[in-house]
Amino acid sequence: MPGSSFIRTVNAEAVDFRDIPVMDFADFRESIIEEIRAGGRISAMPACPAEDGLLRIIAVLSLPVSGEILIGSTCINGSWPSITPDCTAAHWFEREIAEIHSVTPNGHPWLKPIRFQPPHDISLQEYSLQCGNAKFLGLDGEESHEVAVGPVHAGIIEPGHFRFLCHGETVYHLEISLGYQHRGIERAMKGGPGVRALHYMETLAGDTTIGHATAYCMAIEALSAISVPPRSLAIRAIAAELERIANHVGDLGALAGDVGFLPTMSYCGRIRGDVLNMTALLCGNRFGRGLVRPSGTAFNLDKNLIDELMLRLKSTEKDITSAVELMFDTPSVLSRFEGTGALSEETAREAGLVGVAARATGMNCDVRNEFPYGMYCFSQLHACTWNTGDCFARAYVRWLEIRSSIEFIRTQLLNLPDGPVSCKTAPISKEKITVSLVEGWRGEICHVAVTDKEGRFAFYKVVDPSFHNWFGLALALRNQQISDFPLCNKSFNLSYCGHDL
């Protein structure tokens, strides 16, 4: 039976690392393919050195139907028959393993570095590969040409290199080459948690400070077997939803700007700041730095603060509604959004997309429902979906989510559980593995922590939703006009540093 050798666990629960089965590679491969076909997702696929110079690949699969997380592993010696030809969603994971551990997935259709980081066994000084210097897909023929953009882009945006293979104005394929933001976070997490661990998480993707800090804290709390007070869970959820609203509002404004609809662009740029300022009311920092701590939250809410937040939520809701409805009521905006960069649900599923981009195709995926954690165990949010998979859908799903998040925050503020906001910490248990899943504003965030015999991190794996979705952007751009790239790109709005780590 497929998956039978995988160990079954749930979100943010620690299990003995020794209990993770080491399977025969053929079984491992077959089980992954079967589970993904049955509706599962690959949430992470880290690898670590095993005995006798072998490499142990660990697959973390999440099953939305049952809410379970499956963990299994296999050992390989230098190479393995690539899983990608039978399971597209594995392709970026296999490229990552190949890059970090100097091994080869045989038969991988498009193997090249994803971050231009040195393999774990050689030092940075010995590493000579220049970022972006890879063998890109080429296009030959009359009227065909290539357009290279980046790493430095036109706006205030993170760096990445894009290469459009065009025939006239039509894009046949987009090659995305990242790695410019690589800061070595996972390497630095090894042997931790150190004094910087939480700060790495908060700056991993600065616009997802709450999302990544929450996933990290859930991992630490699972490893040290503590359960944090309900009031802190509610505050974390409020901060997470504020983060979602702020980014979604910013994105809707930027989307309006990309089609030249300036009123909504101007309003949303400002309103985004208003929402960030609400987060700053919680903890002093607009991005929520210093709020989420392993043991709870560093700040509490008193009655005055709750009243102030309720007041601001009301006026911000009014501002957002008028700005966004204006955009969706404007035919010239809709005609640019509709049908641009469309992805089918089937493609999204096959490519393993998550978050807004996946929900815009009709996929009903949302970690808050599928693998509930923290406050979402007690207070459910429905997944907001649309079915056209185009730029309109990605914009509209954001608008639906903004409304649902505002309602959620209001409910939480009015029903905050009593009690403290933090508890005592405890030592981290040894030789455990834990998987924490969080629905960040871009989609599923997955952190995998494994501790060694001393209770230090043997490795710490982070999978940002952008890791799953960058390829989705490449697919969405096929057969589009090259001039639609800014619009498509913004409708995904993926993180460069979250991917590059």
Residues in the chain: 501
From 55-63, 180-188, 441-449, 477-485, span contacting another protein (CB under 8 A): 180-188
Q: Is position 425 an interface residue for another protein (rule: CB under 8 A)?
A: no
Region of 26-34, 88-96, 324-332, 461-469 interacting with another protein (CB under 8 A)? 324-332
Question: Residues 6 or more apart from 377 whose CB is under 8 A from it?
Answer: none
Element at 331 (helix H, strand E): helix 331-337
Q: Is 271 helix (H, G, I), strand (E, B) or coil?
A: helix
Is-contact 92 83, C-beta < 8 A? no
399 binds another protein (CB under 8 A): no
Tell me, rounded to whole angstroms, the distance of Cα 241 from its chain centroid. 15
Q: Does the footprint of another protein cover residue 459 (CB under 8 A)? A: no
* Per-residue tokens: 364: 């009903």
Which position among 69, 131, 210, 351 is part of the footprint of another protein (CB under 8 A)?
131
**Rg over CA atoms, the chain:** 22
Cα distances from 304 to residues 273, 311, 398, 411, 421, in angstroms, run 21, 11, 30, 17, 17
Stretch that binds another protein, among 2-10, 37-45, 193-201, 474-482 (CB under 8 A): 193-201
Closest of 436, 108, 183, 427 to residue 292, by C-alpha: 436
Pick from 152, 225, 310, 377 the residue near another protein by CB under 8 A: 152
- DSSP secondary structure letter of residue 129: P
Contacting residue, 9, 73, 181, 224, with another protein by CB under 8 A: 181
Residues contacting 125, CB < 8 A, separation 6+: none
Q: Which of 404, 479, 39, 115 is CA-nearest to residue 248?
A: 404
In the block, which residue shows the tokens 């020794």? 18
Handedness of CA 492, 82, 36, 450 (dihedral sign): negative
Task: Please select the residue that binds another protein; options are 173, 196, 403, 478, rule is CB under 8 A.
Answer: 196
Minimum Å gap between C-beta 495 and another protein is 7
Q: Choose the binding region for another protein from 49-57, 97-105, 267-275, 343-351 (rule: CB under 8 A).
A: 267-275
206 binds another protein, rule: CB under 8 A: yes
- Provide the minimum distance between the beta carbon of 137 and another protein in the complex, in angstroms, as a whole number: 21
The reply on whether position 329 binds another protein by CB under 8 A is: yes
Nearest to 433 by CA among 120, 71, 61, 96: 71
With CB under 8 A as the contact rule, the residue among 1, 52, 141, 154 that binds another protein is 154
Told to check if 284 binds another protein by CB under 8 A, we report yes
Pick the piece of the chain touching another protein (CB under 8 A) from 10-18, 231-239, 260-268, 447-455: 260-268
Q: Does 56 bind another protein (CB under 8 A)?
A: no
- Binding to another protein by residue 184, rule CB under 8 A? yes
Least separation in angstroms between residue 69's CB and another protein is 28
Q: Please, what is the minimum distance in Å from the beta carbon of residue 346 to another protein?
A: 32
Shorter beta-carbon distance to another protein: residue 289 or 368: 289
Q: Return the structure tokens found at 329.
A: 């009521």
Amino acid at position 347, single letter: T
- Asked if 195 touches another protein (CB under 8 A), the answer is yes
From 97-105, 174-182, 380-388, 458-466, span contacting another protein (CB under 8 A)? 174-182
The site for another protein, by CB under 8 A, has a size of 64
Q: How far is the CB of 445 from another protein (least distance, A)?
A: 15
**CB burial string 293-308: b at 16+ within 10 A, e below:** bbbbbbbebeeeeeee
Q: Strand pairing of 444-451 and 432-439?
A: antiparallel
Q: Which is nearer to another protein, 97 or 204 (CB)?
A: 204
Kindly state the tokens that stand for 115.
């971050």
The Cα–Cα gap between 382 and 369 comes to 7
C-alpha 405/C-alpha 413 separation (Å) is 12
Does position 149 bind another protein by CB under 8 A?
A: no
The residues binding another protein (CB under 8 A) are 116-117, 123-124, 130-131, 151-152, 154-159, 179-185, 187-188, 195-196, 199-200, 203-207, 209, 250, 263, 266-267, 269-270, 272-273, 276-277, 280-287, 289-290, 299, 318-319, 322-323, 326, 329-330, 495-497
